[in-house]
Structure 1
Amino acid sequence: MTRRVYIFDTTLRDGEQSPGVSLNAGEKLQIARQLARLGVDVIEAGFPIASQGDFEAVQAIAREVRGVTVAGLARAGFADIDRAWEALRDAEQPRIHTFIATSPIHMQHKLRMDPEQVIEAAVAAVKRAKSYVSDVEFSAEDASRSELDFLCRVLEAAIAAGATVVNIPDTVGYATPQEFAQFIREILSLVRGIEKVVVSVHCHDDLGLAVANSLAAVAAGATQVEGAINGIGERAGNAAIEEVVMALFTRRDQYGCTTGIRTEEIYRTSRLVANLTGMPIQPNKAVVGKNAFAHESGIHQDGVLKERTTYEIMNPTMVGISQSNLVLGKHSGRHAFRQRLAELGYELNDQELNKAFQRFKTLADKKKEITDADLEAIVEDELRPVPVTYDLAYLHISSGTTVVPTATVGLKKGGELLEEAACGNGPVDAICRAVDKVTGIPCVLKSWGINAVTAGKDAIGEVTLKIAENGGKTYIGRGISTDILEASARAYVNAVNKMFWETGRVERKQHGPQEEENRVEQGLA
């Protein structure tokens, strides 16, 4: 009999805790909507008590995103749980996710609590959460390094107190697949009442075993897997949702399980998370990497041409990687453009379509053919949740081996054109200095990276960078162009716009409820 496995996505909570990642509320809402389209069962939207910004982001997702359970994380304390409920109260399907550590090393050194105190705190937390919502998840932090007898006592107590989901995390990625599967089997056989609840696992990738451990747990009887898109998260990250889902599907002969995931949305979700977090996907990443369905070896190419399944165990169209027979170029019209975007899964209103079509026409003058990857880059560059304070009007660069790099930048602010010039150690440094002179705020460029969206000399360059003001919060910017210096300027201005918006330097006008929720600040460190 086919078993249903629930997918719990923690991209917006654990995933956002990746070093250097900081999403604003609008970006979190954009990802949450895409996760709902992907078909995850639960979105862990954040840790409401962590900051006012994170509270407001969870609240916005709870209010706006439907058809999915929205969870908020809370430590086993009443203040955390009360705050989580405040953020989640408008959710269609709210879940409070409360946790406490159960391993000897955590209880002794972090909590400074004895085992009985931990059980007492766990029961009180679940009961408090249950007073607000019917769906309560309890996690035993560092479960894989906990003593089995004690862990079973904690889980029994949590179930008796009203938990509907119990989570067994491999918090530090220490387990191996064989022992973790046995661990889950023993818990399932020893814990009274566990047949009444969903049994979840949350595996980290410190030894590169998060996906393997998650799949081993499913084979042993677990019914929920927690993870993040692209495997992002604390330290080495979480189990990659897309890998778990496609492994369960591709090897359903072994696991006998199904999920509710719409697999054709996987690639788009992966790209969105990579773009907004500024964490590029490695080329050889399973399922969604650039090389995942690429074949260079002559033997492989010959085999795939004769029969795709000789070297492809998954069909790329299943995860949303598709190629259309519709070739777009400078003579293509708005109708063909809109149709291709619809095929790629983008639904744009008239204003968004006009802006994207303008960018498409500009690019088409520089490139003979526009690929799907080019179109995705254009649309994702335009559909940003942060209002534009400064817009790049023009850019002039003077650089070479015998001259001091100089940049002249023109930025539009409202109807005004602001112009400045600056010298730098290189052309990118000069651009950044010129923009800083326009805005009046010197920023530190923390990182800069470029990725070619497609192959060839006329490829779009996608620049992702991070800036900070006076050693404060990091802001991620992204820009695209066939000219990498223009892409750098666009990325820097994009990051500056985020900084202006989130620090309140922009006058905030009144908007409708949904738009207003897109404009709250976010601040989980």
Structure 2
Amino acid sequence: MPSHRYASVFDRVTVPLTDRAWPSRVLTAAPLWVPVDLRDGNQALAEPMDPQRKRRFFELLVAMGYKEIEVGYPSASQTDYDFVRLLASSDLAPDDVTIVVFTAARRDLIERTIDSVRGVRNPVVIHVYTATAPTWRDVVLGRGRAELADLILSAGKDVLELTGDRPDIRLQFSPEVFNLTEPDYVLDVCDAMTALWDATPERPVILNLPATVEVATPNVYADQIEYMHRNLARRDGVILSVHPHNDRGTGVACAELAVLAGAQRVEGCVFGNGERTGNVDIATLALNLHAQGIDPMIDFSDIDEIRRTVEYCNGIEVHPRHPYVGDLVHTAFSGTHQDAIRKGLAEHRTRAEEAGSSPRDEKWLVPYLPIDPADLGRSYDAVIRVNSQSGKGGIAYLLETEFGVELPRRLQIDFARTVQTHADAVGDEVSPADLWALFERTYLSSPVEERLALDHYRMDGSRLTITLREGDDLHVHTTTDEGPVAGLVSALAHAGITLEILALHQTSIGEGSSADALTLLEYRNSRGTTWTAGRADSVLDASFEAVMRAASSSPTEVCPRLDSNQRPAL
């Protein structure tokens, strides 16, 4: 890798800040959010949005609660111009939503932009930008520092002239590639613009400081923002905004540290679409705040509908591991993760029950899940899924949540071996339906041998009579001092089949009065210890079926009996 070709950011920009304050600050409130999906995100699409998709995206942003939305680049695209005109001629934008339009610092483009917002009843921001970094000045614009500053101020005067005294229009300036611009130069240019536009607390100017190409670690960007925050001439008349890109993959960190450093406003795209590696992801930023107990002021309670709309409008699928919104982001396949999540969810429910409150009101303390999926409109169905990496806890969780079947721990271990063998063989995820089919095949499908069948039984108070059929012969066994299962085991012993019942666990399949009873039986015979099950309308019939299935796999040889204090209560 020819790394020597690339200069350190410190060879190009030095921030004169030695007593930075941002590292000791904490986030306490959401910044002002400005989604730029309809402009910056739209420019990044191979196939830009048509009017229908653009409108649908705008309606989504409004429904989510965004109050300032950058809607397009009307001087660069007829579609964008027409969309702004649609906003002017309709009630698509609620009165409390501010419309932002974007333009380069050139008079003819500014004229076209201001013409596009003619008649818009909403508050409007005219957003003017010019690249200011040395490479852009030299290579792209061919202008020195002074000449470029004159161009920027000239554009600022054009905006003032063309907007007149309209009180509903506010102004915004972006020194593009701010993060690669000399701090003293960008500070002078920004101060000149706020003086020209007479920035005051009553009518503030937005200064937007983009990390247009992310080239340094996030702490460097934070230093640059704090330097501006502390040195701007009219700071109380400025809304300090940031617009990080994601070239290094640290756009979210840049934005969070920038807010700590004094930024009040963040521009970005829902789920991070944008040129090259994308803009900062303002959904992740907002939900990071939510996960820290801070209201993001934006509604993400139906995250899947938001994702579907964004995917439709952008024509780009969201990655399954994308923070918060990805299909698999709350999903655990690992056995250790599954076990911790299962225990955490159970403990969360228990705390709520003990407090007499709803689980939705309880403090969220579940391992591996930083937020409750229900906050985003998701169920717990997809939290635990099974593949060859999964453990007994995940398998047990799925059988319990999907079918109501509770497995005792030793049966979890026994069945997990079967599931992992199956998962290794198929090389794919095992669905809940697959799990249940595998469980039935393992514990419920082995035939009860006809050589010895339970013909019928009768209970009269404490008296139990069991009739076993062996061919044409009947074996009748009566007992009054044993439970029903123990009585059946005794009858089998008299018929020559000896087995020990080690554990008997009752559960059900499904819920309600129509649910079948399921008996899970651990037993031992001379061949070893294993599990089986029985399913029936009643608990007793299910238990008898499980015992008879165990008898079918037991030889007619005597097995050492357990001491009485080792026997389960049957």
User: 1:121 and 1:260 mapped to 2: Cα distance?
Assistant: 38
Please tell me whether the aligned partners of residues 104 and 146 of structure 1 are also in contact (alpha carbons under 8 angstroms): yes
Q: Residue in 1 aligned with 2:284?
A: 243
Q: Residue in 2 aligned with 1:340?
A: none
User: 1:148 and 1:288 mapped to 2: Cα distance?
Assistant: 37
Deviation at 1:323, TM superposition (A): 7.1
Give the number of the structure whose alpha-carbon radius of gyration is greater. 2
Tell me the SS of whatever aligns to 1:14. helix
Q: Does the C-alpha gap of structure 1 residues 455 and 289 become closer, same or farther in structure 2, counting only changes over 3 Å?
A: farther
Are 1:232 and 2:267 an aligned pair? no
Residues 108-117 or 57-66, more deviating: 57-66
Amino acid of the structure 2 residue aligned with 1:311: Y
Please tell me whether the aligned partners of residues 167 and 201 of structure 1 are also in contact (alpha carbons under 8 angstroms): yes
Amino acid of the structure 2 residue aligned with 1:207: R
Please tell me whether the aligned partners of residues 229 and 269 of structure 1 are also in contact (alpha carbons under 8 angstroms): no
- Residue of 115, 122, 138 corresponding to 2:145: 115
Q: Residue in 2 aligned with 1:189?
A: 230
Q: Residue in 2 aligned with 1:99?
A: 129
Q: Residue in 1 aligned with 2:313?
A: 276
Tell me the SS of whatever aligns to 1:149. helix
Q: Does the C-alpha gap of structure 1 residues 120 and 91 become closer, same or farther in structure 2, counting only changes over 3 Å?
A: farther
Please tell me whether the aligned partners of residues 159 and 194 of structure 1 are also in contact (alpha carbons under 8 angstroms): no
Amino acid of the structure 2 residue aligned with 1:98: V
How many matched pairs?
326
Please tell me whether the aligned partners of residues 225 and 263 of structure 2 are also in contact (alpha carbons under 8 angstroms): yes
Deviation at 1:85, TM superposition (A): 1.8
Higher RCO (CA 8 Å, separation ≥ 6 residues): 1
Tell me the SS of whatever aligns to 1:280. coil
Are 1:151 and 2:186 an aligned pair? yes
Q: Residue in 1 aligned with 2:479?
A: none
CA offsets per residue over residues 253-300 of structure 1, 9 Å max, x none? xxxx65421232544223211122210011111111111111222222
Q: Residue in 2 aligned with 1:314?
A: 371
Are 1:288 and 2:325 an aligned pair? yes
Q: Residue in 1 aligned with 2:395?
A: none
Q: Does the C-alpha gap of structure 1 residues 117 and 259 become closer, same or farther in structure 2, counting only changes over 3 Å?
A: farther
Are 1:71 and 2:97 an aligned pair? no
TM-score, normalising length from structure 2? 0.54
Please tell me whether the aligned partners of residues 180 and 217 of structure 1 are also in contact (alpha carbons under 8 angstroms): yes
User: 2:380 and 2:342 mapped to 1: Cα distance?
Assistant: 16
Amino acid of the structure 2 residue aligned with 1:310: P
C-alpha RMSD of matched pairs (Å): 2.5
Deviation at 1:154, TM superposition (A): 0.9
User: 2:149 and 2:262 mapped to 1: Cα distance?
Assistant: 25
Deviation at 1:7, TM superposition (A): 0.5
Deviation at 1:2, TM superposition (A): 4.5
Write out the 4+ residue segments of structure 1 that deviate beyond 6 Å after TM superposition: 454-457
CA offsets per residue over residues 443-491 of structure 1, 9 Å max, x none? xxxxxxxxxxx9999xxxxxxxxxxxxxxxxxxxxxxxxxxxxxxxxxx
For structure 2, the 5+ residue unaligned runs are: 1-26, 200-204, 346-365, 382-430, 435-570
TM-score, normalising length from structure 1? 0.58
Map 1:163-178; keep pairs closer than 5 Å: 164-178=205-219
User: 2:302 and 2:149 mapped to 1: Cα distance?
Assistant: 41
User: 1:7 and 1:232 mapped to 2: Cα distance?
Assistant: 16
Q: Residue in 2 aligned with 1:343?
A: none
Q: Residue in 2 aligned with 1:438?
A: none
Deviation at 1:185, TM superposition (A): 0.8
Q: Does the C-alpha gap of structure 1 residues 165 and 322 become closer, same or farther in structure 2, counting only changes over 3 Å?
A: farther
Amino acid of the structure 2 residue aligned with 1:68: V
For structure 1, the 5+ residue unaligned runs are: 325-453, 458-525
Deviation at 1:4, TM superposition (A): 4.6
Q: Residue in 2 aligned with 1:381?
A: none
CA offsets per residue over residues 339-396 of structure 1, 9 Å max, x none? xxxxxxxxxxxxxxxxxxxxxxxxxxxxxxxxxxxxxxxxxxxxxxxxxxxxxxxxxx
Q: Residue in 2 aligned with 1:354?
A: none
Please tell me whether the aligned partners of residues 30 and 286 of structure 2 are also in contact (alpha carbons under 8 angstroms): no
Are 1:80 and 2:109 an aligned pair? yes
Tell me the SS of whatever aligns to 1:128. helix
Q: Does the C-alpha gap of structure 1 residues 85 and 260 become closer, same or farther in structure 2, counting only changes over 3 Å?
A: farther
Q: Does the C-alpha gap of structure 1 residues 286 and 30 become closer, same or farther in structure 2, counting only changes over 3 Å?
A: same
User: 2:160 and 2:339 mapped to 1: Cα distance?
Assistant: 59
Are 1:12 and 2:38 an aligned pair? yes
User: 1:19 and 1:456 mapped to 2: Cα distance?
Assistant: 40
Deviation at 1:320, TM superposition (A): 3.4
Please tell me whether the aligned partners of residues 32 and 61 of structure 1 are also in contact (alpha carbons under 8 angstroms): no
